[in-house]
Amino acid sequence: MKTRIVIAGGGTAGWLAAAILTRQLAPLVEVTLIESEEIGTVGVGESTIPTVQAFHALIGLDEAEFMAATGATFKLGISFENWARIGDRYIHSFGDLGRTTWMGEFHHFWLEARAKGIAADLGDYCLEHRAAVEGRFAIGGEPRLNYAYHFDAGRYARFLRARCEASGLTRVEGRIDRVECDGESGHIAALHLSGGRRIAGDLFLDCTGLRGVLIGEALGVGFEDWSRWLPADRALPVQTGAVEPARPYTRAIAHDAGWQWRIPLQHRVGNGLVYCSDYLSDDEARTRLYANVDGERLVEPNPIRFRTGRRLRAWEGNCVALSLAAGFVEPLESTSIHLIMIALTRLLQLIPVGAISPAAAARYNEQARREMEAVRDFIILHYHLNQRPEPFWQRCRETAPPDSLAERIALFAEGAHAYQDTHDLFRVASWVQVMLGQRLEPARYHPLGSIMPRERLAQVLAEMQSGIAAAAARLPAHQVFVDRYCAAAA
């Protein structure tokens, strides 16, 4: 007998869940997805990180087909502008920095060279950084670029939906009116829709967004609030027409009460303002956003209210919460879609056969907690390490970070040491780029760089820099490559 899996809610989370379940477990499961055309989705998660490629392979997506269907472009990193100080800019790229050794990472050599006056900018030793700055991109070749995508979230959900329905998934139109729970186990037995239909299941996936209709309202799982560290609580998205060739990176531009994103797609640009309502009203945010976008506005923006934090348990009984129902870490480093994908991957590894396993649920919850806290710390890093004068930024700087992040900051400040734990999403190069970009200058660094004679160190770095510059110069312009490889239909 097949396991009945009911997905409550559509959008990116719901249809990604449907895609991997129907692709990987079709003989074992019967999947039903419930969504209502009357209920909109947040739909602003248009920027991803490189892990998306592995998940797409699991669900059998053809890259060029997916990109053409969603108006996608390529992404090599994020440009952070005005973050540490007004006028500052650095790029958190997806590539590695230079070449490392078993004793120490490349940035220790670079810090030694910088002290001796023989180092170029840190980004000159990373191909992804150089290609992003020059607006170049291509697939294949050596060295291979590490990349992600920008895409239209609405088109992405529709693209996934068409594939899932062609694979036999049952989609039910309707609003969830009531959650029926078993009187003995407390597990969810069925979902009752407003039209009177009852949908029973064995496992329920909550993709109902910030409300958490199943995990929160019905099962009463609490929420751990992280707003003391991440006080922004509003997002105001707007779409505009493109006025320039698409850049292969996201822009995150800080302002006095938060930041603004710009995400270039083939057919438009995704824009939005993230802000803290303690320092900026919704009307002021709208005025500011209008003044800082290029191109014709395609929609009228409405503010989205949110609270950063996580559910105390993402898996409760026979319900697993995904995406916003499981928690929310603001979109600064484009982690939302990754967290959906890694949650689904972990769920398939622990998928219940017959009775729900409390041990499996506990393992899932512990992994989810560690992953979200690691992402949380990386996001807080950008805010905490600032030197801006405005009250919002002073608040972010003066709020003591979580102990786990404070330890990382101290380790880098004292000796330039950075690391990636097994549960960490972000690699050493990511931590280094952001810490240095946010003006955290280490007092010391590993002495291994001083062992190499000055002339030899200068030669090695110069050869590395010129090799990367030559490799970048061989790449076509990003827009030219996109037009040739995956042009979207008009």
Q: Do residues 81 and 88 lie in contact, with contact meaning Cβ atoms separated by under 8 Å?
A: yes
Q: What percent of the chain has pLDDT over 90?
A: 91
* Per-residue pLDDT at 314: 98
Mean pLDDT of 196-216: 96
Q: Do residues 252 and 261 lie in contact, with contact meaning Cβ atoms separated by under 8 Å?
A: yes
* Per-residue pLDDT at 36: 86
**Cα diameter, the chain:** 79
Residue 39 pLDDT exceeds 70 = no
Phi-psi region of 380 (alpha: psi -120 to 50; beta: other; left: phi over 0): alpha
Which of the residues 59, 66, 75, 91 is marked catalytic? 75
* Per-residue pLDDT at 45: 52
Mean pLDDT of 301-309: 92
CA atoms within 13 A on the CB side of 417: 9
* Alpha helix ranges (H) inside 90-219: 106-115, 127-134, 153-166
Residue 41 pLDDT exceeds 60 = no
Please identify which residue in the block is written with the tokens 């991109």. Answer: 137
Mean pLDDT of 239-247: 95
Residue 359 pLDDT exceeds 90 = yes
Hey, what long-range contacts does 190-197 have (CB within 8 A, 24 or more apart)?
191/6, 191/8, 191/34, 193/34, 197/172
Reported as a pLDDT band with limits 50, 70 and 90, residue 352 is confident
Mean pLDDT of 327-336: 93
* Per-residue pLDDT at 65: 97
* Per-residue pLDDT at 143: 87
* Per-residue pLDDT at 301: 87
CA distances from 309 to 226, 227, 229 (A): 5, 7, 10
Mean predicted lDDT score pLDDT of the chain? 95
Q: Do residues 294 and 269 lie in contact, with contact meaning Cβ atoms separated by under 8 Å?
A: yes
The token pair at 474 is 């061989």
* Per-residue pLDDT at 1: 80
Burial class (CB in 10 A: 0-12, 13-18, 19+), 258: buried
* Per-residue pLDDT at 40: 58
Q: What percent of the chain has pLDDT over 70?
A: 98
Whether omega before 331 lies within 30 degrees of 0, making that bond cis, reads: no
Residue 42 pLDDT exceeds 80 = no
Question: DSSP states of 376-438 as a string?
Answer: HHHHHHHHHS----SHHHHHHHHSPPPHHHHHHHHHHHHH------TT-SS-HHHHHHHHHHT
Pairing mode, if any, of strands 258-264 and 203-206? unpaired
Least confident piece of the model among 32-41, 372-381, 423-432:
32-41
Return the SS3 of 98.
coil
Q: What is the pLDDT of residues 444-478, one digit of tens each?
A: 999 988 999 999 999 999 999 999 999 999 999 99
Q: What is the pTM (predicted TM-score) of this model?
A: 0.96
Active site residue 75: yes
Beta bridge partners of 188: 181
Domain ranges of the chain: 3-46+152-225+308-356, 96-146+374-473
Mean pLDDT of 193-201: 94
Mean pLDDT of 54-68: 97
Residue 324 pLDDT exceeds 80 = yes
Q: Tell me which CATH homologous superfamily contains domain 3-46+152-225+308-356.
A: FAD/NAD(P)-binding domain (3.50.50.60)
